[in-house]
Every structure is written in structure tokens, then in C-alpha cells.
Structure 1
């Protein structure tokens, strides 16, 4: 069921016919003048949830082909396979160039299931990230200077970053390639599996803490949703271990208020060197 929060309204798609959806990509989800990749993934995720018989994204893999712009877009979906536990589909988001030709922005392959039907057995060595209490962390409003370029998305989020990963904002990046934060939606909407697709790609890029600046466009992003999150703010931890040839990986973990690992992701991103 789609609610009336800002996130719900701005990711809502209108079914034109089976497998074809219309949406107006909202400029409120841009960062450095580009539509955020996590927001776009949530848009595609909502269309796939309408197409497939299962409700929840389990694994979503997206290739970002061209930069999306605010404005009209079309999502085309296709059911690849339907089973008892999982169903698989693919989706593409397209916009139009100045000549009216369709340009594919993103292509996704995803498997959906029912998170509420999973067994409770958890065996893990993963531990929640050590993030200071939320009142000891800092958000965009605390920054001495705004991030260069448009940062409209920060008004839609409750984002409080761990001071240990904020050296870049003070001109002294740590060089560690780490970013940690408390995360939520600014209007208080509780997290759900769809908003986890946004959470994994909503923090400042780890490239900032490596000492790089500017846009870090996503090439490919894969998200695994592991559990339906409990109410309350999420903790997001992102790390980069290897930057080579102008590309880096970002590994993200998302933990809920009950110390459960609710989502994991890995993305390959491009950086501008020099």
C-alpha cells in the first residue's frame, strides 16, 4: 500500500498499460544536479512490485547507462520467471532526448519474494557499525559550507553523519574511505524494503574521505534486502577498500533499530582523478 509521505508520492508510478508506467522524476531528489541513484532504484522497484506477484525486493541489480534528469520518464517492466518463493523481473527507465527519441537511463534485473515469510533463524558474524549517538552526529545543516552544486535531496532526508567520517567537510579527509550515518526520511516515514533501496545510496560518497571531490556516478549497484526494518532510524555504514583506474567500489550495510542487518549493497562508481 502506498502512503502519503513525500517519498511515496515522488516514487509513485502510474500504470499506462501492463508493463508500462509513467512518472515525473522529482527535482527534490537531486544531488550535485543529478537525480540520486537510490531514488531512481526505488522508482523502478515500485514498478516491479506492481508487475510481479511477490511484494518485496530481495535482490536488485541496476546498471546506470546515462544520467537521469528531473522530468517525465517511462518505466517498462517484464516478468522473467515466477516461482512459489521468488519471482524475477526486469525493468528499464527511459527518458526522451531533444528529438523525442527514447534514451535508456537504467536497466534492472531483480528477484522479489515475501520478507514476512522468511524463517527467523539468523547465523552471522556481522556486527552493527559503531556510530555515536545521533545527538553527537552532524547533518547538512551543521556544515560550515554546503556541498557544491544542488543538494535538494538533503531536505528530504534525516541524515546525521559520524564525526569520524566528516574530515572531508573540514578540509582534512581521513584517507580511510569510510562513511557512517544515522539515516531516515525527513517527514518521519518509517523505513520499509523499498526505502532501503534509497538508503544504500544516500550518504556522501566515500571518495570524499579519500580526498576526492565532485560527482561520483554509479556504474552498477546491487542491493540485497535481508529483513523488513523495524521502526526508527537506520544506521548505514559504507566502505571503500580499492580505488584503481578511476573506479572504486562502495560496500554498504544498513542496520535497523533492533540491531538487525536489513540490507547490503555493493556498487561500482567512477571518479574524476586529478
Structure 2
């Protein structure tokens, strides 16, 4: 399967803004997580992203690139915005397509899997005349993953574990739709939330997603479970290598000591 993955907006176009969030940051984070799940867990998958950083890119450039590449599916990740009461998840295919089209079939499968993971109100399957749905030569789907203007949806968006689950929901749907085969030795990323006070181990903080991902790979190579999470610090997005979450401070300090002994010096505990 060749997936053209499009994190909506970017650069000079922030997309929707609200509750201390910018759409372009959330869409990129989810898309990068989805890319990693697909490439790490499944056989015979190619993923091309419309952007991997905060850059400006026109809609026509995105659709033309996907068409030239010959993608099997165009998947655009977005967050919604409206009045403060609007909330939930919905997705779109091109309005000119029938309910029996290949795109509609993919939409139903992916919709059902995302809804299982995102803890959002189900707003249903929809159609629209959006550029990326109309001008692409392959089946195309645009997902709207909650309302950034809704305070309850925004609380979820701020959680790395939620964004990981949304990415996983998309991956699960794609795996069913395209009958993807799991790699024999794939290692799922841990996303177990811990209620109440917790102590998070951060083994490196970076402004580059790729640098954070490289650190996670290095951690995993030495037997530590790890994942990339994002943090908004003074308006800038940072990517952190998380190497464990504990409800007990002593256990967290033991993990930090083990990490430092293994050569990871820039480790700290986040309460």
C-alpha cells in the first residue's frame, strides 16, 4: 500500500486555533505517529507525507504530488472548529462519489476504527467538495479529529496518549481496508495512561521530531520502552523521548538512574 499522508495546514497557515492549540501542530503530530506505526508494524507499506515540519504548502502542491507518486489512498488529517458547543469526530469523501465507491468503503472501515479509539462523539460519515478530495486521482479521505474550539475536545488533544490512540485508530482502519500484514517482530508503542499524580521519565527533548525519534530508537535498542510525545513550550513545539511513567517517585528515580548508567545523560523526571 502506498499512502499519501497529509497533515493539514502548516507554516503561514495555522489552521484552526483555540484553547492554546494550533491545528497545524496537532495534525502533524498525529500524522508522524501514524507514519511510524505503519512503517514499524506492517509489511509492504510506503508512506509519503505532504510535510514533516512546520512549512507552508499549497493544496494544489499536495494533490499534484500525491497524483504523481501514484498513491493508493490520500489521507488528510485535520481538526475541526465551530462554536464552542460543537464537538466530536467526522470524516469526508468527495461529494461526487457514490456510497458504493472504493473511497466510501475505505471511509466506513477507517471511521469505525478511529471511533473505537478517540473517545469523541460520533458525528458520522460525510461528503464535501474539498480540493484534496476532488483533485486527487486515487480514493481520498479527510478526517476531522475533534473540535479545537471545544474545551472538552481540546483537553484530549493536549494529551500525547490521545494523539497516539487517534493515530492507532487510523492505522487499524488502514490495516483492515488494505489487508496489511503485521511484521513478525513488531513492537507496539506503549500508551497506557496512569490516573492521578505520575512521574514521567523524559530522556531527551528536541525541536526536531526526527531527532526525538532517533533517541526513541536508541532507547528501544537498549531495552527501554519509549515513545515520542510533544510539548508546547512558550509557543514552540518540542518533541520529547518518553521512557516510562510511574505512580511512585522512587521507581521513577530508579529508572532515571538506569537510563543514565546506560549512557543517556539528559534525563529528567516530569511530575
Could you state the TM-score of these two structures normalised by the residue count of structure 1? 0.25
Flag the structure with higher helix content. 2
Could you state the TM-score of these two structures normalised by the residue count of structure 2? 0.25
Flag the structure with higher strand content. 1
